[in-house]
């Protein structure tokens, strides 16, 4: 827990909160002001924290989520109810995928609530918004008592840091400048770890690994969230165990590592990777969410008796369950035990060397071939943001060169994540080039955050996959359904509307290759590439998903 060195007897509640946000590494905050939070917003603007205004509250939430995934913790600030309730979907996604976001909301003053008046923005009761966020966050507090305000801030921020999930802080506007006469302290709860249970779990896991000839590590998203990448690499390199990742955990380790074999997606993924993983006689699942998407719509064929499943919330080895064993403690202990499994070579076909690709200049655009062209540009200074749909499925074919350089809501799968998440990524890593892949349907939901990118002077490359509608749904529920169609936009002309950026329209493979090179070399502004796809085109992963999930969607 960061030190409380900024605590001072003359700090107001608002200033104390701002100081503690900085202590947790938050240097930027996203949101939209409103009258119930204007006083705190003014305090923010006068502080060292950079305030990034968004066009919508849910966009601010997506931006803060992406920022948190890169920076370690993020924050957003909105007004009461009309702002807070608008951001619920973004916060729900952050909770589902363990992204530590601090939600700060203004509220009517305590002195304004006498006789229960019908104040603007109020819904039913003054606690309505607090009640809603208690369902969406791991911890929450209303800073209504000066004597407990500091300790409540500490408790909530500590929970965000420990559990890597969003938290909620509501500050009535007449409490922002209150200086508490005294303040309660806070002590982080201590997890009671049974050393005997930990030692036994490590012994059992080591035994399974020592007896194995074909081990595999499947690294999940929690390895990134809890900053355990180095420990996983130490274990893998020390014992020479091959590594795979899940779709949600893509880029948790660099994909150019010689022990990395690719994404494990059950029947949705590459057959060679699936066979390699499922042929393993010991599967070490580290920080992996067992979601339907991660498991290839439950096509994953993993034998429980051969699995060591470890997350921040549970530890299961074969059919044995261990309780209250921290993920980090287990990982460190297992590494120190120096397991010695059989040596399992990684086939050369898994090494993501740049493959020769010849552009077919006059061919219509196909998304998988576009990814092959894009792969030729990606390096260590790039972050890929993928929205939901074929943007995500096709982007799994990209080779990410550094850890945490691929961002997508691959579990919660909320469309509209991509463009506002690009804002968060640009703020968190201003020196890196962000490449965003977004479908036209998702862009029409939240693409107005392009305005924020242009206002800030950011220069990401935004590739809009234009198939005039919801392409994923067309495959999940076959038929010529009108509800999957959207109004075609001239996306490449948006710079004229927004007053900044450059736009390109491409319809062939050759045009895409030429424009991508031009955009890549131009760091002066946002680059928008409207890519009109061949009619009916879809990635191989999407076609496999549709085959597995289509019957369920149609209720069969």
* pLDDT 10s digits, 345-386: 998 888 755 567 888 899 999 998 999 999 999 999 999 999
Q: Which of 334, 308, 342 is nearest to 240 (CA)?
A: 342
Quote the tokens at residue 430. 């201003």
Output the average pLDDT for the chain: 89
Assess whether 290 and 397 both reside in one domain: no
User: What is the domain-level CATH number for residue 211?
Assistant: 3.40.50.1220
Distance CA 160, CA 94 (A): 11
**Which of 13-27, 383-397, 531-545 is least confident?**
531-545
Burial of residue 391 (number of CB atoms within 10 Å: 0-12, 13-18, 19+): buried
Q: What is the secondary structure of 399-449 as a DSSP string?
A: PP-STT-EE--TTT--TT-HHHHHHHHHHH-TTSEEEEEEEHHHHHHHGGG
Q: Is the pLDDT of residue 72 over 80?
A: yes
Given 323, 350, 377, which residue is the final one in a domain?
Answer: 350
pLDDT at 480: 72
Q: How many domains, the chain?
A: 3
| 75 and 47 Cβ atoms separated by less than 8 Å | no
Q: Give the domain-ending residue among 315, 350, 385.
A: 350
What DSSP letter does each residue of 269-290 carry, written as one string?
Answer: S-HHHHHHHHT-SEEEEES---
The stretch 231-246 carries a mean pLDDT of 95
Give the range of the structural domain holding residue 413, as residue numbers without chain letter.
367-553
Residue 272 CB: number of other CB atoms within 10 A? 13
CB count within 10 Å of CB 38 equals: 14
Which of the residue ranges 122-131, 278-287, 342-351, 467-476 would you say has the lowest mean pLDDT? Answer: 467-476
Residues 76 and 209 in one domain: no
pLDDT over 90 (residue 483): no
312: its two tokens? 């921040």
* Distance between CA atoms of residues 422 and 501, nearest Å: 15
- Tell me which of 1 and 25 has the higher pLDDT: 25
For residue 362, tell me if it sits in a domain. no
Give, as one character, the DSSP assignment of residue 469.
B
Ranges 210-219, 425-434, 545-554: which has the least confidence: 545-554
d(CA 315, CA 205): 11
Residues 122 and 242 in one domain: no
Does the pLDDT of residue 4 top 90, yes or no? no
Give residue 36's pLDDT band: very low, low, confident or very high (50, 70, 90): confident
Residues 444, 378 share a domain: yes
Q: Domain check: are 215 and 134 in the same one?
A: no
Strand order in the sheet with 461-466: 406-407, 382-386, 433-439, 461-466, 527-532, 502-506
**Both tokens assigned to 264:** 């494990």
Percent of the chain with pLDDT over 70: 91
User: Does the pLDDT at position 166 exceed 70?
Assistant: yes
What CATH number is associated with residue 43?
Answer: 3.40.50.970
Q: Are 428 and 480 in contact (CB under 8 A)?
A: no
Last residue of a domain, one of 172, 204, 232: 172
Residue 184 pLDDT grade (very low, low, confident, very high; cuts 50, 70, 90): confident
Q: Does a structural domain hold residue 463? A: yes
pLDDT at 419: 98
Dihedral over alpha carbons 14, 18, 23, 25 (to 10 degrees): 150
* 407 and 382 co-located in one domain: yes
**396 within a domain of the structure (yes/no):** yes
398 with 341, same domain: the answer is: no
The whole model's pTM is what?
A: 0.92
The conformation of residue 343, written as its DSSP 8-state character, comes to P
- pLDDT interval class at 496 (50, 70, 90): very high
- Would you say residue 17 lies in a domain? yes
Residues 395 and 529 in one domain: yes
Whether 305 and 282 have beta carbons less than 8 Å apart is answered as no
Residue 499 counted as domain residue: yes
Q: In this structure, what token pair is assigned to residue 491?
A: 């996306």
* pLDDT for the residue 5: 46
- Residues 387-405 have pLDDT tens digits of 998 889 889 889 888 887 8
Does the residue 185 lie in any domain? no
Q: Does residue 124 sit in the same domain as residue 60? A: yes
Quick check: is 213 in a domain? Answer: yes
- For residue 445, how many other CB atoms are within 10 A of its CB? 20
401 plus 542 within the same structural domain: yes
Mean pLDDT of 489-511: 96
**Neighbour tally for 193: CB within 10 Å:** 14
Query: Does 341 share its domain with 375?
Result: no
Strands (E), 264-358: 282-286, 307-310, 315-317, 320-322
Q: Provide the pLDDT for residue 536.
A: 80
Mean pLDDT in residue range 92-119? 89
pLDDT of residue 485: 76
Span 267-280, average pLDDT: 85
Q: What is the mean pLDDT of residues 100-118?
A: 87
Report which of 267, 259, 303 is spatially closest to residue 285, judged by C-alpha positions. 303
In this structure, the number of other CB atoms found within 10 A of the CB of residue 209 comes to: 22
Whole-angstrom distance, CA of residue 81 vs CA of residue 119: 11
Question: Measured between alpha carbons, how far is 352 from 328 in angstroms, rounded to an integer?
Answer: 29
Sign of CA dihedral 541, 544, 546, 548: negative
295 and 397 belong to one structural domain: no
Provide the pLDDT for residue 537: 80
Count of beta carbons in the 10 Å neighbourhood of residue 25: 12
> Residue 355 domain-assigned?
no
């Amino acid at each position: 827990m960061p030190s409380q060195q900024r605590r001072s007897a003359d700090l107001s509640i608002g200033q104390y909160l701002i100081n503690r946000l900085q202590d947790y590494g938050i240097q930027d905050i996203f949101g939209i002001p409103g009258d119930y939070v204007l006083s705190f917003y003014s305090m923010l603007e006068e502080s060292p924290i950079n305030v990034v205004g968004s066009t919508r509250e849910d966009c601010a939430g997506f931006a803060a989520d992406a920022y948190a995934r890169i920076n370690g913790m993020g924050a957003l600030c909105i007004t009461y109810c009309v702002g807070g309730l608008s951001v619920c979907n973004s916060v729900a996604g952050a909770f589902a995928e363990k992204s530590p976001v601090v939600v700060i909301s203004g509220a009517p003053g305590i002195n304004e609530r006498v006789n229960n008046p019908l104040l603007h923005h109020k819904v039913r009761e003054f606690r309505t918004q607090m009640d809603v966020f208690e369902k969406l966050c791991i911890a929450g507090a209303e800073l209504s008592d000066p004597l407990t305000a500091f300790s409540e801030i500490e408790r909530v921020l500590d929970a965000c840091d420990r559990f890597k999930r969003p938290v909620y802080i509501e500050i009535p506007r007449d409490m922002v400048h209150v200086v508490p006469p005294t303040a309660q302290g806070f002590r982080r709860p201590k997890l009671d770890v049974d050393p005997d249970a930990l030692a036994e779990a490590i012994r059992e896991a080591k035994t399974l690994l020592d007896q194995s000839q074909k081990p595999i590590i499947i690294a999940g998203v929690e390895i990134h969230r809890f900053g355990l990448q180095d420990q996983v690499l130490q274990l893998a390199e020390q014992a020479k165990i091959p590594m795979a990742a899940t779709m949600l955990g893509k880029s948790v380790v660099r994909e150019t590592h010689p022990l990395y074999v690719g994404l494990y997606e059950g029947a949705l993924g590459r057959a060679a990777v699936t066979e390699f993983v499922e042929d393993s006689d010991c599967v070490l699942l580290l920080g992996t969410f067992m979601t339907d998407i991660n498991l290839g719509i439950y096509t994953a064929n993993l034998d429980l008796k051969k699995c060591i499943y470890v997350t921040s919330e549970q530890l299961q080895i074969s059919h044995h369950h261990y309780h209250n064993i921290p993920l980090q403690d287990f990982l460190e202990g297992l590494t120190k035990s120096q397991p010695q499994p059989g040596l399992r070579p990684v086939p050369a076909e898994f090494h993501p060397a740049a493959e020769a690709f010849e552009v077919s200049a006059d061919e219509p655009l196909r998304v998988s071939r576009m990814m092959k062209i894009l792969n030729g540009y990606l390096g260590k200074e790039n972050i890929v943001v993928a929205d939901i749909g074929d943007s995500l499925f096709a982007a799994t074919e990209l080779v990410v060169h550094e850890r945490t350089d691929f961002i997508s809501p691959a579990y919660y799968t909320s469309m509209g994540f991509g463009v506002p998440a690009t804002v968060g990524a640009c703020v968190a890593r201003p020196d890196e080039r962000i490449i965003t892949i977004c479908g036209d349907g998702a862009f029409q939901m939240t693409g107005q955050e392009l305005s924020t990118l242009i206002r800030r002077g950011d220069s990401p490359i935004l590739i809009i996959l234009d198939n005039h509608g919801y392409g994923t749904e067309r495959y999940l529920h076959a038929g010529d359904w009108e509800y999957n169609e959207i109004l075609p936009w001239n996306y490449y002309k948006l710079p004229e509307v927004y007053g900044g950026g450059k736009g390109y329209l491409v319809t062939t493979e050759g045009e895409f290759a030429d424009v991508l090179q031009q955009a890549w070399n131009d760091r002066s502004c946002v680059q928008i590439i409207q890519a009109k796809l061949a009619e009916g085109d879809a990635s191989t992963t999407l076609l496999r998903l549709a085959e597995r999930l289509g019957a369920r969607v149609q209720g069969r």
